[in-house]
Structure 1
């Protein structure tokens, strides 16, 4: 029985072990084995229980069998003990396993709590980080938007810059720091002749070739100047660009450095534009400012500038020059006979004639009207005389033909003066040459007169020049005075007219009375007679107009309309003034003077110089109601022939015949002839220079109508005449 029990126990234990091993290792990748080997709580518990479940049953059986063999207890008791021990072992194992499970569960709960806390913290951190990321994302999106806006703006600016460079009227070339071309705009392409694709990467000097306009030398490279100096560079105003096809353009340009933010120069921008038309216009204006528009010669302003330079050079003693003043002798005859167009043509032909005999190293100029000037540079006075006579001779041989039917001979009067260390200034030299030319005219014309410091003729000329300033100042200071002289009837007539000639005097700076013969020649020479004539008419008319407002006993000649006639002298300059008649008519209207009370007087010489114009002038004022007298009749040539064309009312016989009429039979015959011609033509005659009774009796016997002179009435100041 015992043996069988042991055998049963052993077999049972072995079977149980084998069963367990079979169960564990039957399917190693699944089932109980996967549970035992897992890292989870079940695997841990299985691994904790499994050794005890395997080891304790055999050990208990062994203990029970050992007690049974030693007869400590019976087999039944042993089975009971075995059962109890198994229960105890399994209870302990269950308790221990439960305790382990509780510990694991507690740890699990703690871990869950910690994990939950960590999860919460992690969620908070995730939320916070998410918010930060969202904020950063918003900022990034804003920055991206701003960057896109900036990029768009930069793109637009770039496009605008490119369009501007494409559209700008200036040529633009940019280079790198080595002077190699990086860009040229369309205008630069046109001006240089190079396209952008051809010029890209080329040195600037090959595309942009510039020279100096005057010297024709190569101009300095502006890019090199900028790279060397680091400053903006502007080229001179005389720069010329030579294009690819060899054409030359005048340009103005400037170059500036292209810098980085750090100030480093990375290139140069060159801007230039075509100023050929402007420069040509400026050159033309400059030429016109220095030259006469009609003849193309140097004008007076430029001539005086060059003359001043010549005088300055001569004052150093190293150079000597000569100044020649030329005046055409017959220009006025041609101008008045054929008109201003012919006069202009004559001036052009004479200018060409002079140019053929004046070298380019000298200066030939038109000084005004028919006056010319020549500066003989580095020329002695003797050589200048020789050269001036050559010009004079060729001028004398010249024939001016107008419209193929009018041929005129010409001559010139020339004044010559040396320019040396004794020449004080330009004005003195020009004045001396002008005076010498005037003397040449007075001595017969067609000659060269050399200025000499002790020349009496020149001294007289200078005296006239001094009178110019004195006359002008006298007009400003109102120092001219009006006088009158009676013109009395010689023969019996029924007219009650009282006739007076208005005369002019001047009060000089010292208060002395000056005769008109002292200043009238100077006034005529220097074109002051128009001003003097206008002063006389305005002053006399205003005084006469004021006299009308007074009572009759203040002015015995107030009844001029039925008994007074006032004669006023007019100069040739006033006759030739187209606006003078309008001035006279305005004065009549302004001062309410009847034209019938005024007689204008011109000399025979003035009349025959421009007969047609004088006749038209006389007729115009006679139609207005005035009378006319012809003064100094008999002093000119062919007087009787000219007289037929002049509708005058009075004929004043020249005093040179009258004053010797008593002792000179020829003068007597001349006066008689003039008087008879006048009577036949219905013109009343007036004898001048009647200085005594003998002369008065002779002209009375001849039948002359009026007498004027110291023998019948001396000149009287106008104020005495007015209030006597």
Structure 2
């Protein structure tokens, strides 16, 4: 019995040493408190005995409905347990983990309230500090959480705003939705997640992808959160969007801000006036005098433009030869007057590059459209102005330029799929020897078979193919298919090459490889398509020398079409001249056309160059070109282009 009493005393002492204990009457009056409780609150028992529980709480709480409810529920026997903020004698706050236990007699009536408490102030303050820090982090950083497989658990507002998503669009999806496909399939990406799964953090600068492919640069730390056994259970990423610091740069050549800064400034303004200014002379200087002088031209052009700036105008360099002038305060008329003045000044400006003085040939496109399409419309009208040989145009929907661009995109895709599906084919048009009266040659002409099996003429797609950088691939198909067709035939055949073809190293390598592969040089005639772009003959000479060394022959296509001159014939050392059909078809009724043809025939005979008349559409034309002494004829009267040889 003594042992049981002793054991009970030890338990009570341990309980009193571990817990702050206080008892209350049903009305909240304090009955008693142990030493631990009194010590925590700084009171002596006589200072609180028979006083109400209110002296341990702040006034706002004791006056609240919540406080009255608190005591009512205790008086009805309902236990209350949790964290409570209370007030010590000196007025400072104390946080308790406590249980208010109503004591019930044998009759089921509550006769006393007993409270057991532990001081958790230190832990609570640490938690508060952590919560404050977390709140500050959430306010200043983009935060996202992942499970250990990389699936998204949650993300804060900053993160969602930076990436352009709503939470329900990304929750449960894998981190790889923020990465480009190549990186997400790489060994580097696999190693990245293996490192995190080992509980190691990763920090650095990352390029990520937001919604709709938006590029976002972040400075981030991926932190594994460990459980009590130090195993990682989830990943928290703290990041800052540093995109504007990464993409907003000053051009090193001119000191002007770049395209990205322009876009940011446009977005901030309620109203915008924009002029896009291209210095077209850049490409001429770059081609003939090199990049250093071309860059010097742009630098001096920027200096010139800066002298024309007035208040509230900003100048940007947004491309290699392109500037942008932005204003957000002028009326449209006032801005237009300014830009027209700048345009006239630029036209009359000579830039001294040391070895040469160059006039600034420029094109300006102006837009007053909404900020969402301001830059795109200014650039669209700038390009349209170039195409129409205008120095300045203002964007208007009445130009219907977007429809033209949409058509171009439609044709670009049509050409791409035709190449992919091998629907780029070759037709062959016969060339008739006017003396032997036999078909001796064929010209290879490209066509596209549409998905509905109709044949598409090159006039519909070749210009778009050049603009969309698919022209070279089309030329390769013509080379491959025509060489394959004529490898076992005795006829000569010709293919057309433009300046784009000749100046393309890859195409040249392909052509000479195929000539050697098919051993077809003696049958091949290369028709050079005349162009105003022939501004330097050296690459052309070298190309022709290589062809002739192999045994190929050279023809000048469309001679007399606008860029022709006899000096060109001599320099090229042509074997054939194809007289342009627009001249040939008029020789029966137009004396001038007839005299032009006579001059060409006379000159070529003296030079030992054979002639081919194009566009022979009837018997009378054929007889006339025979009379003029033209060597060959080609046209629908001789034979239409067909996939099979006639």
Other-structure match for 1:691: 617
**1:370 and 2:321 equivalent?**
yes
Other-structure match for 1:655: 581
Counterparts in 2 of 1:366 and 1:690: CA distance versus 1, 3 Å: farther
**1:436 and 2:378 equivalent?**
no
Contact 2:433 2:439 in 1 (8 A): no
**Among 501, 506, 509, the residue aligned to 1:579:** 506
**1:396 and 2:322 equivalent?**
no
Other-structure match for 2:459: 517
Other-structure match for 2:337: 386
Superposition CA RMSD, Å: 3.9
Q: Deviations over 1:358-413 (max 9, x none)?
A: 57966645454534444444555434433332332232122233443x32222212
**1:416 and 2:416 equivalent?**
no
Contact 1:320 1:380 in 2 (8 A): no
How far 1:669 moved relative to its partner?
Answer: 0.6
Q: Deviations over 1:433-468 (max 9, x none)?
A: 3442233224334x2112222226775455334422
Counterparts in 2 of 1:354 and 1:539: CA distance versus 1, 3 Å: farther
Other-structure match for 2:530: 604
Other-structure match for 1:335: 286
Contact 1:619 1:647 in 2 (8 A): no
Other-structure match for 1:528: 470
Contact 1:415 1:450 in 2 (8 A): yes
Q: Deviations over 1:462-507 (max 9, x none)?
A: 53344223222322232222111112112349xx882111111123
Q: In structure 2, what is the Cα distance between the partners aligned to 1:511 and 1:297?
A: 53
Larger radius of gyration: 1
SS in 2 for 1:478: coil
Contact 2:363 2:382 in 1 (8 A): yes
Other-structure match for 1:407: 357
Q: In structure 1, what is the Cα distance between the partners aligned to 2:506 and 2:618?
A: 42
Contact 1:600 1:628 in 2 (8 A): yes
How far 1:352 moved relative to its partner?
Answer: 3.1
SS in 2 for 1:440: helix
Other-structure match for 2:399: 455
Contact 2:279 2:298 in 1 (8 A): no
Q: Deviations over 1:693-712 (max 9, x none)?
A: 11111111111111111121
Counterparts in 2 of 1:663 and 1:323: CA distance versus 1, 3 Å: same
Q: In structure 2, what is the Cα distance between the partners aligned to 1:536 and 1:575?
A: 15
Other-structure match for 2:496: 569
Higher strand share: 2
How far 1:627 moved relative to its partner?
Answer: 2.1
Q: Deviations over 1:258-289 (max 9, x none)?
A: xxxxxxxxxxxxxxxxxxxxxxxx99995677
- The gaps in structure 2 that reach 5 residues or longer are 1-124, 141-218, 220-240
Contact 2:248 2:257 in 1 (8 A): no
How far 1:430 moved relative to its partner?
Answer: 5.0
Contact 2:530 2:563 in 1 (8 A): no
Under a length normalisation based on structure 1, what TM-score does the superposition of the two structures give?
A: 0.52
**1:478 and 2:422 equivalent?**
yes
Q: Deviations over 1:41-63 (max 9, x none)?
A: xxxxxxxxxxxxxxxxxxxxxxx
SS in 2 for 1:636: coil
Contact 1:629 1:651 in 2 (8 A): yes
Contact 2:431 2:441 in 1 (8 A): yes
Counterparts in 2 of 1:478 and 1:694: CA distance versus 1, 3 Å: same
Other-structure match for 1:345: 296
Counterparts in 2 of 1:559 and 1:508: CA distance versus 1, 3 Å: closer
- The gaps in structure 1 that reach 5 residues or longer are 1-224, 239-251, 253-281, 314-318, 549-557
Counterparts in 2 of 1:294 and 1:497: CA distance versus 1, 3 Å: farther
Contact 2:499 2:534 in 1 (8 A): no
Q: In structure 1, what is the Cα distance between the partners aligned to 2:407 and 2:622?
A: 37
Contact 2:424 2:474 in 1 (8 A): no
Q: Deviations over 1:202-244 (max 9, x none)?
A: xxxxxxxxxxxxxxxxxxxxxxx999938997999x9xxxxxx
Counterparts in 2 of 1:233 and 1:456: CA distance versus 1, 3 Å: closer
Q: Deviations over 1:12-52 (max 9, x none)?
A: xxxxxxxxxxxxxxxxxxxxxxxxxxxxxxxxxxxxxxxxx
Contact 1:505 1:515 in 2 (8 A): yes
Q: Deviations over 1:507-549 (max 9, x none)?
A: 33444322111122222334332232223223433x33xx75x
Contact 1:363 1:376 in 2 (8 A): yes
Contact 2:276 2:382 in 1 (8 A): yes
Contact 2:349 2:360 in 1 (8 A): yes
Contact 2:492 2:523 in 1 (8 A): yes
Counterparts in 2 of 1:336 and 1:712: CA distance versus 1, 3 Å: same
How far 1:672 moved relative to its partner?
Answer: 1.2
Q: In structure 2, what is the Cα distance between the partners aligned to 1:530 and 1:294?
A: 33
Contact 1:696 1:707 in 2 (8 A): yes
Q: In structure 2, what is the Cα distance between the partners aligned to 1:378 and 1:531?
A: 49
How far 1:668 moved relative to its partner?
Answer: 0.5
Counterparts in 2 of 1:518 and 1:638: CA distance versus 1, 3 Å: closer
Other-structure match for 2:631: 705
SS in 2 for 1:671: helix
Higher helix share: 1
Contact 2:312 2:329 in 1 (8 A): no
Under a length normalisation based on structure 2, what TM-score does the superposition of the two structures give?
A: 0.57
Q: In structure 2, what is the Cα distance between the partners aligned to 1:504 and 1:293?
A: 46
Q: In structure 1, what is the Cα distance between the partners aligned to 2:547 and 2:336?
A: 49
Counterparts in 2 of 1:375 and 1:631: CA distance versus 1, 3 Å: farther
How far 1:714 moved relative to its partner?
Answer: 0.5
Counterparts in 2 of 1:642 and 1:444: CA distance versus 1, 3 Å: same
Other-structure match for 2:236: none
Matches within 5 A, 1:184-263: 229=129
Q: In structure 1, what is the Cα distance between the partners aligned to 2:479 and 2:328?
A: 49
**Among 409, 412, 418, the residue aligned to 1:468:** 412
SS in 1 for 2:574: coil
SS in 2 for 1:491: coil
